[in-house]
Structure 1
């Protein structure tokens, strides 16, 4: 892990008079109870509609259970992809983001389990991963929980569970799917694209981001889009010569209809390339022979010509090659199959053909961790060599997948300055700011202090980028909002919050870090806290259950200062009415004795101005019923329940 951010830049932005009011941020958006559309507890002695994906057997069992006495057993598996499957087409509505939860346990041994969705349109199957590889074994139940949005019309939609490698028996139990309606987008806050006008600000999108409120948010704030996966080789040419633009065309058409630029990502990458591309004429994997090299470069040329021609002048920027640098190699080149078969000629060919097929477009080489000196320098040497050979490279893309404490502004400035002598454009192509600083961390909800750190990181980085007007020609965020981010499953499965808008599409402190840093963490009309205890009944409490499953639940609590005196600290108390127990709490500290609960503020949310609120959340357990507390007290004084 690198040094924490120390350098602070100032950022002065003039806002229209109509936008001076601070708007509701992520922490202020009241979460209603989720609407459940699917539950399977297997307590009725049936499989409740679940079947196998092949010839495996799916039966009700009482051998083990996560809750109650019944579960679903899957036996007779002969391949790791075989597992339980359920038709959810009738339950899932296009454009709605669902939280799906399944409890999984193996009969013997250990493996990784995955939760996915299979879509079929025109008889062709496509697969969307909801939860990536998660360690499971025979000694415990493991919960797979993730979000999924159906983005296109489909003929069938099936939820399924599979394992990574083993074919032993497995069990599932307590399946649930629910959604929380998104809030209307905030129309009276500044549009990001209007405030930052030194370069286009874009977002990477999937089909889900052009629908309903997501599409409204995208159109309001962003000037360009990058199809995140829809233009990659596996999506555009899954079989040799069989080109498909079903995923990409709707995204590109949305951009055209809204006057947005399109970045093409990506023509060549070592990932998401179908196996047939690297299979020789003899049906064997390609090796470094003249025949295999010629075949591979021929396939590369054909692919680029076809895809570039399909979009013509609509796509003005292409990431021609992606992630080709390995700083640990003496020559700095990644030992992908592209390289081992064709050497540097695959990069030369890709740029030459892209220039011929799209002479209007800017052609980029794109990579990650370019702020790390060793990688930065190897990328610089490669670009300098290729340009000296006459290879038509127009720009360098810096992905900028960073976190709240890394990198520093100085490191990022050095990255940008390094490429200035090469006379190339530079673009920030995939930026997000993880709330995590290590793989061992996992939060049930984003801590307030991490959201503030994130806001400062966005503030400082965008301020730096704006100093390079004319050198940096585009900045793209790798996602639209926190409800759909690749970081939820990479590098480990956990909920991240790396973008400017939260899971309900509301502006976060990070948004204000870019648009108006003076408003990070502020609330309209909030005076500086002066101390004192809340007056009698000068408070209200909102208690919401945001998720519930057999034996467990998640709740969010918001306490609001309805008086005229600011608080410097607070302590909220209540009685549970059915023996519920708090297991884990965030944004505060909890003490529980029997049914009595007391929650005190954390270090960062004790100061609450008149009209402002503080929030915390927790995971709890319940048996039988789970009623909300009947009354609350703040520092010993009755507090109204909202």
Structure 2
């Protein structure tokens, strides 16, 4: 029997709040982070359902039209169950169902949105987009969270993520199309979040272990909320807004300044007693196109008039941005990446240089010093351990100092990898600038696990993480020896779950920082903070693993694992790794959280067994099977287990 259609909305009134059903769902499954103890703790590795729209009650459940289209609940629009949402009579691509969520989502928490779309019968394929509309400080912006090509012959899932970081007057998810205006159906909306586990509070703070200089981290707006904020403040004495103070974020349109992302970060630093590095006033990237456009709207050419206009725009921008914060920001990366060692004069041929020569550098430092006379002003660049680049930067800084330009420091970005550079190369970088008498800062440090552009690891091998720890140790030992000249060391990110090194042409995952994706200390962290570090994942001792196959049958087996903490420290939260071989897999696990089933198996703690005191043990078990078509044979006997990043001693199997 065909269900009758139920009209949800037509016309262009303002978006409605989510209906009472949605609120009831949320009341049961979503609660903001609280300081009090909850009756039960969610598994930190599993998503928590925040919102479900399945339309099975015959209503639109808060979804409504954005324009003149018609949104109805119909049985013919269902992907599963009895009802789905039909969207018809569209006259513009942006028209589609929307759900307002600004009063439902918690700032600093990442949400995953999933829904299913199918075009109406006979429609030509089009690109459907899951989008976000946001109104902040009176300015509306639109963001695509995910897209896919959709047709009339099958359902397609749209997915995306969003992390609210500022208070929005209006926030809504909606669905639109990129090409035409076909009618479509929508069903099975799911919004989830992954809880951030509590940080480790029983380990040394970086800021205490490294008193020789200030230790900082680059941050995004999400890092000043919840457990991420606690990790940031516990370990770091300074922070650098990674993108929030760049030109495209602060003056996207000429004369229109916005500090929506930057202000909460600066306020957080003040509340927690942290200093701030401002990044960055002048760069050849992330600068809006209008900056290099002449009065006629054409790209600037090198003329005296355009030079004067560009320098005037630069001065206006610096006076507004630096002037807003005054002495609240003690250090500024004034100019960023101006060196190109392949040029005979060593200068990058950016639009800044093409229009003004080196005068944009002089102007930037002069104006910043006038506005903030007590701030330390830095020239910042990458690969300064490369001799040609180092020399070009040295020559530029020496020239500026001779001219009386207020350059107070040189910033070495230090984006390196597990093999490069050598300690000797890094020391030459630092030693070269000592005669100039300027401060030196390590401004954007991370250590990639990759040594070649064509490498991709689905799971980063333990030996790469060990090599990373050794490289971090070597570099920090060098920095300590130059602490008379180095005033700060900043890591370019807080943890491995948010790094600029992810993605790229190969869409590869890197792990370049001191804390992993669960905000847990890595072996690289211990290599930095512990003078007696012995190459493991903690300050001393290790772990012991007993793996036993207790039952087997054709095509499958049962195994049990005992993990014993043989170190002298308490382990609070653990991850166990082992390799099964390409022909076997883990099908079911108990007393732990299965994060990856093979060929490299990754198992996290089960929350209630996360704490392992020295000498304590945890037991887990699993059912495994042989992948069909891979032959036959005995279950695997793993020879290498790692607890966190550290190799464990394995008890020999009984004969």
TM-score, normalised on structure 2? 0.70
Structure 1 residue 382: Cα displacement: 2.2
Partner of 2:283: 269
Structure 1 residue 263: Cα displacement: 0.6
CA distance in 2, matches of 1:182, 1:325: 40
1:342-362 alpha-carbon deviations (Å, 9 max, x no partner): 121111111111121111111
**CA shift in 2, pair 1:86/1:479, >3 Å:** farther
**CA shift in 2, pair 1:413/1:530, >3 Å:** same
Partner of 1:542: 591
Structure 1 residue 42: Cα displacement: 10
Structure 1 residue 199: Cα displacement: 0.6
**CA shift in 2, pair 1:599/1:49, >3 Å:** farther
Structure 1 residue 507: Cα displacement: 1.6
Partner of 1:179: 193
Partner of 2:31: none
Higher mean alpha-carbon deviation, 85-94 vs 52-61, is at 52-61
Partner of 1:36: 49
CA distance in 2, matches of 1:372, 1:78: 54
Structure 1: any 5+ residue segments left out of the alignment? 1-28, 549-553, 577-589, 615-633, 638-642
**Among candidates 202, 205, 228, match of residue 242 of structure 2:** 228
**Among candidates 138, 147, 152, match of residue 123 of structure 1:** 138
Q: Does 1:497 align with 2:511?
A: yes
| Aligned residue runs from structure 1 range 441-520, under 5 A | 441-490=455-504, 493-516=507-530, 518=533, 520=535
SS in 1 for 2:484: coil
CA distance in 1, matches of 2:638, 2:155: 32
**CA shift in 2, pair 1:449/1:355, >3 Å:** same
1:303-340 alpha-carbon deviations (Å, 9 max, x no partner): 11222222111211111111222233332222222122
| Aligned residue runs from structure 1 range 218-617, under 5 A | 218-490=232-504, 493-516=507-530, 518=533, 520-522=535-537, 539=562, 541-544=590-593, 556-557=602-603, 574=623, 591=627, 600=636, 604-605=640-641
In the alignment of these two chains, the number of paired residues is 562
Higher mean alpha-carbon deviation, 530-539 vs 444-453, is at 530-539
**CA shift in 2, pair 1:534/1:75, >3 Å:** same
Q: Note the aligned Cα RMSD (angstroms).
A: 5.2
Structure 1 residue 478: Cα displacement: 1.3
CA distance in 1, matches of 2:54, 2:449: 34
Residues 108, 168 of structure 1: 8 Å contact kept: no
Partner of 1:93: 106
Residues 147, 484 of structure 1: 8 Å contact kept: no
Residues 534, 540 of structure 2: 8 Å contact kept: no
Residues 200, 475 of structure 1: 8 Å contact kept: yes
CA distance in 2, matches of 1:59, 1:319: 54
Larger radius of gyration: 2
Higher mean alpha-carbon deviation, 209-218 vs 171-180, is at 171-180
Structure 2: any 5+ residue segments left out of the alignment? 1-41, 551-558, 564-589
Higher relative contact order (CA 8 A, sep 6+): 1
**CA shift in 2, pair 1:68/1:30, >3 Å:** closer
CA distance in 1, matches of 2:503, 2:639: 30
CA distance in 2, matches of 1:613, 1:105: 54
SS in 2 for 1:154: coil
CA distance in 2, matches of 1:105, 1:455: 49
**CA shift in 2, pair 1:484/1:365, >3 Å:** same
**CA shift in 2, pair 1:527/1:322, >3 Å:** closer
1:522-553 alpha-carbon deviations (Å, 9 max, x no partner): 468856869996999673853536699xxxxx
Residues 40, 173 of structure 1: 8 Å contact kept: yes
Higher mean alpha-carbon deviation, 176-185 vs 33-42, is at 33-42
SS in 1 for 2:445: strand
SS in 2 for 1:226: strand
CA distance in 2, matches of 1:57, 1:326: 57
Structure 1 residue 438: Cα displacement: 4.2
1:113-172 alpha-carbon deviations (Å, 9 max, x no partner): 9976443223313466767xx998999999987754212221233446899x98899999
Residues 561, 621 of structure 2: 8 Å contact kept: no
CA distance in 2, matches of 1:108, 1:635: 62
**Among candidates 201, 210, 221, match of residue 207 of structure 1:** 221
CA distance in 2, matches of 1:500, 1:174: 39
Partner of 2:27: none
SS in 2 for 1:429: strand
**CA shift in 2, pair 1:61/1:436, >3 Å:** farther
Residues 95, 212 of structure 1: 8 Å contact kept: yes
Structure 1 residue 431: Cα displacement: 1.3
**CA shift in 2, pair 1:357/1:96, >3 Å:** same
CA distance in 1, matches of 2:149, 2:411: 38
